[in-house]
Amino acid sequence: MNAKRFYWLAALATLLLALVACGGGDEPFGSPAQVVEVTRVITEAIAEDADVAVEGSDPAVQSQTRLIIKNGELAIMVVDVDTAVATTTQLVADLGGYIISQQIFDVQTGYSAANMQLAVPVTQFENTLTQLRQLGDVTNDFAGGQDVTDEFVDLGSRLDNLIVTRDRLRSFLDDAETVEEALRINDELKVVEEEIAIIQGRRNYLSDRAAFSTIDLALEPILPTPTPSPIPTPASWQPGDTAQVALVNLQESAQQTADFSIYYGIVCGPWLLLLAALGWIGWRLQRRFGWWQ
């Protein structure tokens, strides 16, 4: 809304208030219910075009300071993750920032990685990125920003208008003559105060986010290159070696057979001869005398 339209709305507000005053009878400023209705109409008209500049401010001066929410992402391969984490923590502290979150985890036996989220003053954002890049080999590098100046100024204008409306409603609440009027004004006052709280919260968030930039940092270890296993070479066929092994095995088996025969021939031989002799005698006796018939 331009300045000319804003002045027209101000004139309209004055006219509406004058009409209320003229039609109020014994009440020189009209009833509180009428005033609340007039205030609501004016507030809605102004809120629809909340981009009006705050009275007495210079738009040229406002454009000189921009609110930029900056954020960055870095992925870096480092030789020692623990050393890189310590260096990063000290760097952020020296620049007036702080660590939002930090996670260190194992990726392989003896090797770990880390994820960190950093917050640094917006004036140190580019400097921080430059120094972090020196930790190792950068594999991912991103930096971006969001201009929230217009939203911040718009919220400020709406906030000023709502504060004026709130103060006026409070004065009307003090002058209310009936319970019904007081309740209606109080309900309208609650709505306005809730809007004020929401806008103040949003402005605080934008101001804080613009004051400190965030950087998501991923630190990954440089893993050693695995040595490929050699491919085994098939052995060439040597028939002479096979024959030699066979002769050796034959000699050993022959020796084992001879040793077995000698051993058991000595141990069991006499008993076998005795059993053979008894068997022969029995066979002769059976032939001669007819036993077992």
Number of domains in the chain: 3
Q: Are residues 32 and 161 in the same domain?
A: yes
Higher pLDDT, 63 or 139: 139
Percent of the chain with pLDDT over 90: 29
Q: Judge whether residue 184 has pLDDT over 90.
A: no
Percent of the chain with pLDDT over 70: 75
Q: Judge whether residue 217 has pLDDT over 50.
A: yes
Q: Judge whether residue 222 has pLDDT over 50.
A: yes
CA-nearest of 9, 7, 4, 6 to 41 is 9
CA atoms of 197 and 60, how far apart (whole Å) = 28
Q: Judge whether residue 216 has pLDDT over 70.
A: yes
- pLDDT confidence of 28, banded at 50, 70, 90? very low
Would 205 be classed as within a structural domain? no
Q: Are residues 143 and 159 in the same domain?
A: no
Q: Judge whether residue 20 has pLDDT over 80.
A: no
Would 285 be classed as within a structural domain? yes
Q: What's the whole-model pTM score?
A: 0.50
Q: Are residues 131 and 184 in the same domain?
A: no
Higher pLDDT, 90 or 20: 90
Q: What is the overall mean pLDDT for the chain?
A: 78
Quick one: pLDDT at residue 45? 52
- pLDDT confidence of 57, banded at 50, 70, 90? very low
Q: Are residues 33 and 158 in the same domain?
A: yes
Q: Judge whether residue 13 has pLDDT over 70.
A: no
Domain's final residue, options 172, 206, 221: 221
Would 268 be classed as within a structural domain? yes
Residue range 72-101, pLDDT digits in tens: 999 999 999 999 999 999 999 999 999 999
- pLDDT confidence of 119, banded at 50, 70, 90? very high
Domain's final residue, options 162, 186, 221: 221
The whole-number average pLDDT for the span 154-158 is 90
Quick one: pLDDT at residue 273? 81
Residue range 243-286, pLDDT digits in tens: 888 888 888 888 888 888 888 778 887 888 888 888 888 777 77
3-state secondary structure the chain: CCHHHHHHHHHHHHHHHHHHHHCCCCCCCCCHHHHHHHHHHHHHHHHHCCCCCCCCCCHHHHCCCCCEEEEEEEEEEECCHHHHHHHHHHHHHHCCCEEEEEEEEEEECCEEEEEEEEEEEHHHHHHHHHHHHHHCEEEEEEEEEEECHHHHHHHHHHHHHHHHHHHHHHHHHHHCCCHHHHHHHHHHHHHHHHHHHHHHHHHHHHHHHHHEEEEEEEEEECCCCCCCCCCCCCCCCCHHHHHHHHHHHHHHHHHHHHHHHHHHHHHHHHHHHHHHHHHHHHHHHHHHHCCCC
Quick one: pLDDT at residue 103? 94
Would 292 be classed as within a structural domain? yes
Q: For residue 165, what are the contacts with CB-CB under 8 A and spacing of at least 6?
A: 39, 42, 43, 192
Q: Are residues 47 and 88 in the same domain?
A: no
Q: Are residues 28 and 98 in the same domain?
A: no
Q: Judge whether residue 203 has pLDDT over 70.
A: yes
Domain that includes residue 83, residue range? 68-148+217-221
Q: Judge whether residue 147 has pLDDT over 80.
A: yes
Q: Judge whether residue 104 has pLDDT over 80.
A: yes
Would 237 be classed as within a structural domain? no
Q: Judge whether residue 186 has pLDDT over 80.
A: yes
- pLDDT confidence of 61, banded at 50, 70, 90? very low
The whole-number average pLDDT for the span 117-124 is 93
The whole-number average pLDDT for the span 9-15 is 51
